[in-house]
Structure 1
Amino acid sequence: MLITDDFLPVPVPESLTATYLVPMAGLPRVGTKTAVAALADRLAEPVYGLARQMLDSPLMSVETRPIGEFPELPPDLLTAFGATEAQLDRLAAASHVVVVQAQYRPGWPPAHEWAARAVAAAVAESADGDVVDVFGLQFLDPATALRSLPDERGRIRLVDWILVPYSSDAEGLWFTTKGLRRFGLLELQTQGVPDHLTRAWGAVMTGAARRLLRDWADGLTGEEVPAFVPLPVLATVTGHDIAVAYGNPEQHGATAPVLLRLELDPATDPEADSFLSLRPPLGHPGTDGRYFAAACATLFTGIQPDVRYTRPGDAMSTAVSTARSRLDEVRARFLSGALPAETQLVVKYALPGADGPEYVWAGVTAWDDPERITGASASDAAADPAVRIGAPVVVATADVVDWALLGATGVLEGGWTQAVLDAGQPQPPTTP
């Protein structure tokens, strides 16, 4: 294998393991093979065949254990990654857990992940239970787990398999991926991302993961597993990469490619993870954050990400009034299921702080009471240490100052206060 300065040699693990859990009260009442057979008409043939073959081979094991024999799952992390109170209550009440594990060589298809998730979903469905993805520390209801599996053409939405968590420090935001190691590839990271690029850079990371995963899989097509796969030092990301990763290729036209430089960041602690860092190309003038902002402007023309802000003025007051005047309408659409598929409703609301109100976003999960919104925080709040990304929040409707409907490419509707900030001057916001 020829390695040059244009390529970065990335080590390949010898084998990969997928682990899924199905907590349940009591012992399974349906055999594993019977549960999988019940999904014959709902699983695409590549996955259905893989699941049946691996069940009959030493590559997969399915064991039922008393739950006390399995290490306790951290409820705070499960909550941060989307677990509901009902799911946590079922976990607490479980007496046993079905452990589904599968091993396979690195490469494509990732048979270990597809087969193990399919079998775990079959077992969970037969027991009216949940699937716990141990790698991602996520609860999946059986229907969601099954939807994430590939279709008859082997296509998946990468967002169903990786997460992009972030945290903040004095230099900006630190983004990482969580899920690429399922496929043998190192996780990605970016440091020093400006605060106002929160949502946009998460999408860029997802698109970059999709592009690099393709290069990674192409390097593993031989009969022998190589020790290293050469990845291009300068990776390209386009709007199409992002749209495909979100499963909506038709919702994004062609954009100019953005270049990102790969750097290997090996861990000094043997217990810690190594990363592939995404940086601007060498020789780029200015800060990394300026380059990241320019990259987002290229990939999301006319779309700006979510930010926190406090800016007075007539234009902002008009924007808030416009958003609030349409709250009843968007609530009715949310409750009736009339919002477009693959979109998320978010609201911005005020948190009291020592220096005045702080405005943060939350994804809406329930709005049965017109006066109260139940959701999950979309960002960390400086004013309240309990408000962290993914944490459950209850928002008084009276505190809402804006709302937006988000799709794979950003804001599709709403976001009037954002328009005022983007204009940079006191102009009335444009109605979508």
Structure 2
Amino acid sequence: MLITDDFLPVPVPETLTATYLVPTSGQSGPLPAEVVAGLGGRISGPVHDLARQMLSSPLMSVDTRPISEFPHLPPDLLSAFGATDAQLARLAAATDLVVVQASYRPGWPPAHEWAARTVAAALAERLDADVVDVFALQFLDPATALRSLPDGEGRVRLIDWVLVPYSSDDSGLWFTTKGLRRFGLLELQAQGVPTHLTRAWGAVMTGVARRLLRAWTDGLTDNEVPAFVPLPVITSVTGHDIAVAYGNPQQHDSTRPAALRLELDPATDPDADSFLTLLPPAGHPGPAGRYFAAVCAALFGAAQSDVRYARPDDAMAKAITTARDGLPGIRERFLAGKLPEGVQLLVKYALPTDEGPEYVWAGVTSWAAPERILGASASDAAADPAVRVGRPVVVDVVDVVDWAVLDGSGVVEGGWTQAVLDAGDRSQR
């Protein structure tokens, strides 16, 4: 394609490498080919075949090394990306690391990532151990790692492969992605995002990442790896892009596309990362944050919430404690499929606002990691334009204050905080 001012020439690396670790303590490791073969029908046939082919080729290596020979894994960064105290303790006690590495050319499918994660998860499951994704500095339990692999139609949830961390400064929030480099693409960044758009802008970044990743891999279909791939300077994102990235392709959103401008921000330090920066279209008046707020409003709307705010009285505190105490048990029943047929599990969680926390409900769709729940919002939030009925949400378990099991007639279990609120309403009549 001819490069013009409408496109950015983004350089393409010659090869990509995925590295996964399995911390162990002196166990004799099983044969990688044996444990991968044992996965059987638990992963899709194409991924199963890919992992076995990579294992038998020089493109993949599986070695066990003393942990002292491997660069130190910083606990603070691991914690920042979701590591639990138990996972960090197992890592600190480990004497060895099983190192799974695979290399492949940029393009789709990313064979190095699919195959290396498959092998590492299979080994960790057999050893009753964890998986550490070195790229993301993130712990994965084996079951979660296996569920993140492509289904029979080659589909993945991008949120299982690309994170969106952020930090704050005087100008607002600085968002980046962490995961696009797995596929050879530069990471995205946006600066000056208003603080009240934390969740909404994280969803926007994820949707843009999905849109650009498609354009990137479409440019890598030739047999030879090109020197660069031209990406459009003006990119767009829709609600459907966001829904697909969160694993809800059936949610066809009717929102109009929102436009954002890409600018290449090359690093001056050879050890630092280069970025693709998201900006308002050229000529947009005012600060970038104002445009970012308009993008979120266009994509998520501005519906008002009828959710009530919980009162911090003794009855409510007791209700929250009762609900929290029951979280491990209801999660276990949800994962084991032991809830009655035809019911839905919902959780109630806190969204921070300037006036105090706002509490909203979400239907649980996945609870693989104990500390994180994936779901679909069951109510609109007044404080957060990204939280709208039916849209995907990611809930930190520490923010959960209640849960409920519902059937067609209403709550059949749980809902303690709602009972307190309803009792308060009755007492005021």
Q: TM-score, normalization: structure 2?
A: 0.77
CA contact (8 A) 2:358 2:383 kept: no
Amino acid at match of 1:272: A
Shift of 1:68: 1.1
Separation in 2 of the partners of 1:418 and 1:89?
36
Separation in 2 of the partners of 1:179 and 1:298?
26
Separation in 2 of the partners of 1:45 and 1:254?
34
CA contact (8 A) 2:243 2:249 kept: yes
Separation in 2 of the partners of 1:184 and 1:98?
25
Amino acid at match of 1:290: R
Q: Does 1:160 align with 2:160?
A: yes
Closer/same/farther in 2, CA of residues 343 and 241 from structure 1, 3 Å limit: farther
Amino acid at match of 1:69: E
Greater Cα shift, 328-337 or 2-11: 328-337
Separation in 1 of the partners of 2:59 and 2:351?
48
Separation in 2 of the partners of 1:341 and 1:185?
39
Alignment of 1:90-129 (within 5 A): 90-129=90-129
Separation in 2 of the partners of 1:297 and 1:42?
41
Closer/same/farther in 2, CA of residues 30 and 70 from structure 1, 3 Å limit: same
> Hey, what does 2:309 align to over in structure 1?
319
Shift of 1:319: 2.9
CA contact (8 A) 1:319 1:417 kept: no
SS in 1 for 2:260: strand
**Post-superposition CA distance 1:69-92 (Å, at most 9, x none):** 111100011011001111111111
Closer/same/farther in 2, CA of residues 230 and 345 from structure 1, 3 Å limit: farther
Identical aligned residues as a percent: 66
Shift of 1:303: 5.8
Separation in 1 of the partners of 2:44 and 2:107?
20
Q: Does 1:346 align with 2:346?
A: no
> Hey, what does 1:82 align to over in structure 2?
82
> Hey, what does 1:62 align to over in structure 2?
62
Shift of 1:29: 3.7
CA contact (8 A) 2:165 2:177 kept: yes
> Hey, what does 1:394 align to over in structure 2?
none
Q: Does 1:176 align with 2:170?
A: no
Q: Does 1:35 align with 2:25?
A: no
Shift of 1:49: 0.7
CA contact (8 A) 1:7 1:232 kept: yes
SS in 1 for 2:311: helix
Separation in 1 of the partners of 2:122 and 2:18?
16
Gap runs ≥5 in structure 2: 361-369, 386-421, 423-429
Q: Does 1:336 align with 2:330?
A: yes
Closer/same/farther in 2, CA of residues 167 and 250 from structure 1, 3 Å limit: same
Shift of 1:362: 12
Shift of 1:242: 0.2
**Post-superposition CA distance 1:104-163 (Å, at most 9, x none):** 000000000000000000100110001000000000000000000000100000000011
CA contact (8 A) 2:233 2:261 kept: yes
Shift of 1:295: 0.4
Shift of 1:45: 1.2
Separation in 2 of the partners of 1:342 and 1:210?
29
CA contact (8 A) 1:78 1:138 kept: yes
CA contact (8 A) 2:200 2:384 kept: no
SS in 2 for 1:41: helix
SS in 2 for 1:250: coil
SS in 1 for 2:114: helix
CA contact (8 A) 2:158 2:245 kept: yes
Closer/same/farther in 2, CA of residues 189 and 18 from structure 1, 3 Å limit: same
Separation in 2 of the partners of 1:104 and 1:362?
46
Shift of 1:417: 7.1
CA contact (8 A) 2:304 2:380 kept: no
**Post-superposition CA distance 1:366-405 (Å, at most 9, x none):** xxxxxxxxx97xxxxxxxxxxxxx9xxxxxxxxxxxxxx9
Gap runs ≥5 in structure 1: 306-314, 351-356, 364-374, 377-389, 391-404, 420-430
Alignment of 1:243-322 (within 5 A): 243-302=243-302, 319-321=309-311
Closer/same/farther in 2, CA of residues 72 and 406 from structure 1, 3 Å limit: closer
Shift of 1:415: 5.1
Amino acid at match of 1:160: D
SS in 1 for 2:92: helix
Q: TM-score, normalization: structure 1?
A: 0.77
Closer/same/farther in 2, CA of residues 303 and 322 from structure 1, 3 Å limit: farther
Amino acid at match of 1:92: A
SS in 2 for 1:222: coil
Separation in 2 of the partners of 1:184 and 1:136?
14
CA contact (8 A) 2:107 2:183 kept: yes
Separation in 1 of the partners of 2:141 and 2:75?
17
SS in 2 for 1:191: strand
Shift of 1:226: 0.4
Amino acid at match of 1:321: R
CA contact (8 A) 1:342 1:407 kept: no
Provide the aligned length of Structure 1 versus Structure 2.
365
Separation in 2 of the partners of 1:218 and 1:156?
17
Separation in 2 of the partners of 1:349 and 1:264?
34
CA contact (8 A) 1:17 1:103 kept: yes
SS in 1 for 2:250: helix
SS in 1 for 2:40: coil
> Hey, what does 1:427 align to over in structure 2?
none
Q: Does 1:198 align with 2:198?
A: yes
CA contact (8 A) 2:309 2:359 kept: no
Separation in 1 of the partners of 2:52 and 2:279?
43
Separation in 1 of the partners of 2:175 and 2:303?
20
